[in-house]
Amino acid sequence: MARLKTLAGYAWAALAVPVVLATFLGQEPLSRALARATGWTISPRYSGGELARTVDHGGYRTHLRRAVFDGLLGERRRGFVQVEWEPVAALPAVVEEDVEVPGRGRFRISLDTRTGKAELRDASPEVLGLSVVTPFKGGWMVRVELKKPS
Which residues are at the interface with another protein (CB under 8 A)?
A: 2, 5-6, 8-10, 12-17, 19-28, 30-32, 34-35, 38-48, 70-73, 132, 134-137, 141
Min separation Cβ 61 and another protein, Å: 17
Residue 106 beta carbon to another protein: minimum distance, rounded to whole angstroms: 23
Distance CA 114, CA 94 (A): 8
Contact 102, 90 (CB under 8 A): no
3-class DSSP string for 47-68: HCCCEEEEEECCCCEEEEECCE
**Nearer residue to another protein within complex by CB, 38 or 150:** 38
* Cβ nearer to another protein, comparing 36 with 125: 36
Query: How far apart are CB 32 and another protein at their closest, in Å?
Result: 6
Compare residues 75 and 119 and give the one whose CB is closer to another protein: 75
Q: Quick check: 91 and 113 in contact, CB under 8 A? A: yes
Cβ-based nearer residue to another protein, 72 or 93: 72
Cα 82–Cα 85–Cα 90 angle in degrees, nearest 5:
175
Q: Do 145 and 128 contact (CB within 8 A), yes or no?
A: yes
Q: Return the bridge partners of 146, or none.
A: 79, 127
Q: Which residues pair with 99 in a beta bridge?
A: 107
CB of 127 to another protein, least distance (A): 20
